[in-house]
Amino acid sequence: MSDATQGGSDADVTLTREELFSLCHRVLRRQGFSEPHVEALSDVLVAAEMDGSRSHGLYRLLGFVDTLRHGGVVPDAEPVVEDTAASVVKVDARGGFSPHAFREGLPALVDKARASGIAMLAINHCVHGTALWVEIERLTREGLVAIACNPTQSYMAPFGGREPLLGTNPIAFGWPRPGADPYVFDFATSAIARGDIELYRRQGKAIPPGWGVGRDGAPSQDPGEVLDHGAMLPFGEHKGSALAIMIELIAGPLIGDMLSVESSEHDRGRGGLPYHGELIIAIDPARITGDEAAVHMYRSERLFELVQQQGARLASRRRYEARRRHLAQGVTLSRSLYDDIVDLAS
């Protein structure tokens, strides 16, 4: 432990990147996850924590272990990669968490994108609870434009409805920028990620208006009421709702996997993390514009510069700033969360 604010047992705890990895490894190994899953899950959790995304960082270990204890995930599942078409690769995660399956399918996805210009990776039968931008950044490092999305469980009401039907259905996009951090966004189609509402509940705080409704369909700021009895709401009203439905379709039936409502039915009330599929699309600019690809990619820099000249913020800038800050200073966890995580390793 690199540092702890003085003040007894309630002091917050500051950890380096290496200490975060060590803590994740201890928990996951103690809980029986195989080494490939330990490595893949630790990578995405620490990446989220370093980027300041508390809702997708080490806090997720609590949900991972709870899902495991309720029989909702296979801790030593070995993914099966299938080469199905010139531009398609499928990975059967066999009931395991998705990061290991993504790692297994990544080399074929990159090769196919470079050969054909565009390729897709369909991950089936996976449990998902991590951020998509980690995968997106892995593809932008290969010089590829990337899109990823997945359904979840029935947490969100469609616009105009009042009962949970759609998932929070995140979508992420990445654009490589030579010599600069890639342009990446990753957001839920709900007004806020479910994990953020869970953190509000953990802290005993009311959520902002517009995030959810209670069991009677009326607006609610009680995180427990929204999560356990009501429904989350889409961002942008009908726009977020339509985007969520699109993701239900292209990352569900299109790839032979579940809708969010089917994932909820599969869960049978256990309260585990979502079991479903994930779709990743990779595009190689060099196969579209050939020798002129570098010129056209450079032209995109003008857009980024003009956005920033107006004082607007590019997506992911705060994450990159947090990453650099946390590399230098470490990440501070609340004492209560740290203690809960350490308990899982004992």
Residues with catalytic annotation? 55-56, 196
For the sheet with 183-187, list strands across it: 80-85, 88-92, 118-127, 275-283, 145-149, 171-175, 183-187
Number of other CB atoms surrounding residue 318 within 10 Å = 13
CA dihedral 151, 321, 323, 286 (to 10 degrees): 60
Q: Under the phi-then-psi rule, with left for phi > 0, alpha for psi from -120 to 50, and beta for the rest, what region is 32? A: left
Q: Tell me the backbone φ, ψ of residue 235, rounded to 5 degrees.
A: -75, 150
Strands 88-92 and 118-127, how do they pair? Answer: parallel
User: For residues 51 and 80, is the Cβ–Cβ distance under 8 A?
Assistant: no
- How big is the chain by its Cα radius of gyration, in Å? 20
Number of other CB atoms surrounding residue 31 within 10 Å = 16
Tokens coding 41: 């899950």
Q: Which of 98, 143, 140, 142 has the alpha carbon at shortest distance from 121?
A: 98
